[in-house]
Amino acid sequence: MTTPGTVLITGASSGIGRITALRLLQKGWTVHAAARRVDAMEDLRSRGAFVHALDITDPGSRQALSDAVSDQHEGLDALVNNAGYGSIGPMETMPLDAARAMFDVNVFGLMGLTQALLPAMRKRGQGRIVNISSIAGQFVTPGAGWYGASKFAVEAISDALRMELQSFGVKVVVIEPGLIRTGFEAVSKPSLEAGGDDPVWGSMMRNVAKAWGEGFRQGSDPEVVAACIERALTDADPSPRYRCGSSSESALIQRFIPTRLWDSLVRRQMIGG
């Protein structure tokens, strides 16, 4: 896909999704922007985007979005599955309901919307699905096990889709951003603070929060990820994975380091021991 087409971006009310929508609009794409907060996307609408309400955990909302896009176009050229969030906490104490809620957005919501939109792409024999994962989809750090698990799942889903859809002309790409200044740490702050009050895990979680704060202050601008997404959409033969942003090289380096040594390095950086 070398020329602008029609793209749907989820989680477009802020962060990477919003910046990507703005970038693609400037490049001549027809952009459908979807998120829970429609009012936060008025600037996208004013620039020509089609704006949609989406609760990605609700099957009815996903189907309504699919129907709305289908009513306006024969089919999407591309889907950018960007909606997602992270809750942080020790594996022992993080409520399973919180983990399920995260999976409902990051994994099942992503796949539910993809299932709704994929048949039209497959029948047309063309399309591109770009799933926003994370370096946390390649390795996890203390306090972020469940978030990492959800991104590991995105990686697995993407690999299966890529192989299944190859013969139908639909290409599947994973984006693995590193530390990006999107406010992710602010969204995760309540769960970080709750972990810091735990009598057993409080010291670890306070150290994790400090390491995260320092890391995200040095993080990359979300425009870096938007440019990477554009590349994934426009490369004639896209790579299965693109890494971008601060610390994203860690996902590559980790593969070549023995597990015990890697654990030691991460512990030293994240929790001081």
pLDDT in tens, 106-160: 999 999 999 999 999 999 999 999 999 999 999 999 999 999 999 999 999 999 9
Mind giving me the DSSP string for 139-180? ---TT-HHHHHHHHHHHHHHHHHHHHHGGGTEEEEEEEE-BB
Cβ-based neighbours of 43, under 8 Å, separated by 6 or more: none
Cβ-contact 191, 148 below 8 angstroms: no
Kindly tell me the burial class for residue 200, based on how many C-beta atoms sit within 10 Å of its own C-beta (0-12, 13-18, 19 or more): exposed
Contact 240, 176 (CB under 8 A): no
Neighbouring C-beta atoms of residue 72, cutoff 10 Å? 10
Q: State yes or no: is 147 an active-site residue.
A: yes
Cβ count near 149 (within 10 Å): 18
Give whole-number Cα distances, 154 to 39, 109, 135, 141, 172, in Å.
Answer: 28, 11, 12, 17, 12
Active-site annotation holder among 50, 147, 152, 242: 147
DSSP 207-253: HHHHHHHHHHHTPBPHHHHHHHHHHHHH-SS--SEEEESBTTTHHHH
pLDDT digit string, tens, across residues 217-255: 888 999 999 999 999 999 999 999 999 988 888 888 988
Confidence of residue 188 (pLDDT cuts 50, 70, 90): low
E strand or H helix at 66: helix 59-72
State residue 235's pLDDT score: 96
Q: Token pair of 271, please?
A: 């929790």
Domains, the chain, in order of start with CATH, read 6-188+218-248 (3.40.50.720)
Q: Residue 175 corresponds to which tokens in the numbers above? A: 């984006």
* pLDDT recorded at residue 184: 67
Q: How would you label 127-148 residue by residue, b for 16+ Cβ within 10 Å and e otherwise?
A: bbbbbbbbbbbbbbbbbbbbbb
- What mean pLDDT do residues 188-199 have? 72
In contact, 42 and 29? CB cutoff 8 Å: no
- CB contact at 8 A, 88 and 208: yes
Q: What is the pLDDT of residues 5-62, one digit of tens each?
A: 999 999 999 999 999 999 999 999 999 999 999 999 999 999 999 999 999 999 999 9
Mean pLDDT of 201-221: 87
Contacts of 240 (CB under 8 A, 6+ apart): 158, 159, 162, 172, 173, 174
**pTM score, whole prediction:** 0.93
